[in-house]
Amino acid sequence: MSTFPWLTALGVLPLLGSIVVALLPRAKHTLAKQVALAVSALTLLLTVVMALEFQGDSTEPFQFVESYPWIPTFGINYSVGVDGIGLVLIALAATLVPIVIIAGWNDVQEDDGGSVKGYFALVLVLEALMIGVFSATDLFLFYVYFEVMLIPVYFLIGRYGGPQRAYAAVKFLIYSLVGGLFMLASLIGLWVVSRDETGQGTFDYLSLVELNIDPNTQKLLFLGFFFAFAIKAPLWPFHTWLPDAAAQAKPGTSVLLIGVLDKVGTFGMIRYLLPIFPAASDFYAPVVIGMALIGIFYGGYVALNQNNMKRLFAYSSMSHFGFIALGIFVFTEQGVSGSVVYMVAHGLSTAALFLTAGFLMARFKDSALISSYGGVNKIAPVLAGFFLVASLSSLALPGMVSFTGEFLVILGAFERYMWVGAIATLGIVLTAAYVLRVYQRTMTGPLNPDLPQFVDLKAREITALVPIAVLTIALGIMPAPILNVINPAVERTLEISELKYERVASDATTSSEGVTP
């Protein structure tokens, strides 16, 4: 393995890019966009090279490790490293940013809330922070990234959003800050616990994992972290910031927000909650599973009643996050691996949905209302085709990567709690109902007479969508590239936490009832 500081380089590159973009003259819009695109493409290239260097079968917990003292008094280090889970999420972020930049090329005008170059600079800052948050192996560093990420998102929503953007941005910020505050309290508590136990307080992930924390303390500390992650993810009932944020933000912002940034919540559950607080995770698992199940159906039903496409996609995401959380808290390999696959799949399908919806809206008065469209297939068949692919990916059509994730999650749940799995399966009918409802009402039927005769997707827009569609289908047919790196990481996580649930081997007579360990 080379000694090149891959992860730091990946974080610094977009950050430098954003500074360059911010320093450009305000009038040179195109140049700002080109620089941003070039930087993000370079980051993607670097990520790909790094991913190829990654050893899937390595026994090390983290690869590309770097560590430098930061605040030695409190045992805080700048340490980064990735396992398979972090790697695929970094790859997801690095893939989606250039796509968002291409797709949002003309989304921002100078007379909007902020400058054109500002939007692209913020996107690059966000990319740097997303890569950082997935690669941090020091909890304090993670916390810093977790909170600092709010700043670019706040400005992305608050300056470049729709008419209600101030409300949405403040709501997002306060929700996240409240969650972050609880996490900070737990983090300090964790540090104190580590100091009491080892004599030297630390935020180092691998040292914290080694601790044997008293179960009652665990239950308390767990809640602080969980609260932050459940707001970020978002799980029911901490979700109401999401529809507002999604409805007001630019499509590109929504893609990064829901597609990647919210994954920090579920990523945190796997990376931090399970290994550091195993007893508490076990204790709270029924509650979390209950919230996840409610979220699956609640999100689905509310989505069924939405007339605003962006809000609908937000609620559908909430339903999908329910699946992801469900997979994590059943503690089976299939469930947790499925959740990680689901995160990637959801990132892709959300991106496809928001971007196609954005392209549609850009053609008709920025209206997100389903009722203002109808029969679009007639005038823009390519757009309708991509919308259908995105919809199918969202409803987890077999053969697409979202199916792999969803099936594994439900399988993992079913193995452990048969009825939970069975109930979650019913969610697939609901998903089909609300997804196809949008497709039917916007794309098919007679052409809505109010619609102008707009043009079909342009080359730039197709360029943005094709990689998503190709990845969705290619990884669906051949998920081996991601499963190969995810599986060992998941296995290690479950082993560290000693929570792994093993199916009773082929005891056919007892397995017809729900078996608990």
Partner 1 sequence: MTELMPAEGVFSLIWLLIALPLAGAIVLLFGGRRTNSWGPYLGVLTVSASAVLGVLMLLGLLDRPAEERTVEQTLFTWVFVGDFQADMAFQLDQLSMVFVLLITIVGALIHVYSLGYMSHDPDRRKFFGYLNLFVAAMLLLVLANNYLLVYVGWEGVGLASFLLIGFWQAKPSAAAAAKKAFIINRVGDVGLSLAIMLMFVTFGSVSFDDVFRSTSEASEGTLTAIGLLLLLAAAGKSAQFPLQAWLLDAMEGPTPVSALIHAATMVTAGVYLIVRSNAIYNAAVWAATAVVIVGLITIFMGAIIGSAKDDIKKSLAGSTMSQIGYMIFAAGLGPIGYVFAIFHLLTHGVFKAGLFLGAGSVMHGMNDNVNMRRYGALKGLMVITFITFMAGYLAIIGIPPFSGFWSKDEIIHAAFERNALIGIATILAAGITGFYMTRMIAMTFFGKPRWEEGVHPHESPAVMTIPLIILALGSTFMGMALLFWGNIESWLEPVTGFASEPTPLPTMFYIGVTLVVVIIGAVIGWITYGVKPVPIDPPHGSWLTRAARKDLYGDAVNDVLVVQPSLATARYLSWFDDKGIDGFVNGIARWVGLLANTLRRTQSGLVRSYALSMVGGVFVVVLALLLVRMN
Residues of this chain that bind partner 1 (CB under 8 A): 171, 174-175, 237, 239-240, 298, 301-302, 304-306, 332-334, 337-338, 375, 377-378, 385, 392, 397-399, 403-404, 407-408, 410-411, 414-415, 418, 421-422, 425-426, 428-430, 432-433, 436-437, 439-440, 443-447, 477-480, 483, 487, 490-491, 503, 505-506, 508-509, 511-512
| Cβ proximity to partner 1, 13 vs 485, nearer residue | 485
- In angstroms, what is the minimal distance from the CB of 54 to partner 1? 18
**CA-to-CA distance for 147 and 132, rounded, in angstroms?**
12
- In angstroms, what is the minimal distance from the CB of 95 to partner 1? 21
- In angstroms, what is the minimal distance from the CB of 458 to partner 1? 14
| Cβ proximity to partner 1, 34 vs 240, nearer residue | 240
**CA-to-CA distance for 32 and 27, rounded, in angstroms?**
9
- In angstroms, what is the minimal distance from the CB of 375 to partner 1? 6
| Cβ proximity to partner 1, 69 vs 399, nearer residue | 399
Hey, CA dihedral for 260, 266, 268, 271, is it positive or negative?
Answer: negative
- CB-based contact 208:144 (threshold 8 Å): no
Which DSSP string do the residues of 252-284 spell out, in sequence order? HHHIIIIIIITHHHHHHIIIIIHHHSHHHHHHH
Q: Which of 56, 64, 102 is nearest to 82 (CA)?
A: 64
AA identity, residue 309: M
| Cβ proximity to partner 1, 100 vs 457, nearer residue | 457
Structure tokens at 388: 């259908």
- In angstroms, what is the minimal distance from the CB of 397 to partner 1? 6
* DSSP letter, residue 510: T
Chain-centroid distance of CA 381 in Å reads 30
Q: What share of the chain is helix, strand, coil (3-state, %, to 5)?
A: 75, 5, 25
| Cβ proximity to partner 1, 188 vs 432, nearer residue | 432
| Cβ proximity to partner 1, 34 vs 487, nearer residue | 487
Structure tokens at 330: 């059943």
**CA-to-CA distance for 373 and 438, rounded, in angstroms?**
10
| Cβ proximity to partner 1, 49 vs 426, nearer residue | 426
Which DSSP string do the residues of 21-69 spell out, in sequence order? HHHS-TT-HHHHHHHHHHHHHHHHHHHHHHHHH--TT--SS-EEEEEEE
- In angstroms, what is the minimal distance from the CB of 485 to partner 1? 12
**CA-to-CA distance for 202 and 89, rounded, in angstroms?**
26
AA identity, residue 461: E
| Cβ proximity to partner 1, 35 vs 468, nearer residue | 468
| Cβ proximity to partner 1, 142 vs 439, nearer residue | 439
- In angstroms, what is the minimal distance from the CB of 398 to partner 1? 4
- In angstroms, what is the minimal distance from the CB of 203 to partner 1? 31
- In angstroms, what is the minimal distance from the CB of 28 to partner 1? 35
Q: Which residues, other chains included, contact 375 with Cβ-Cβ below 8 Å and sequence gap of 6+?
A: 443, 444, 445, 446, 447, 448, 451
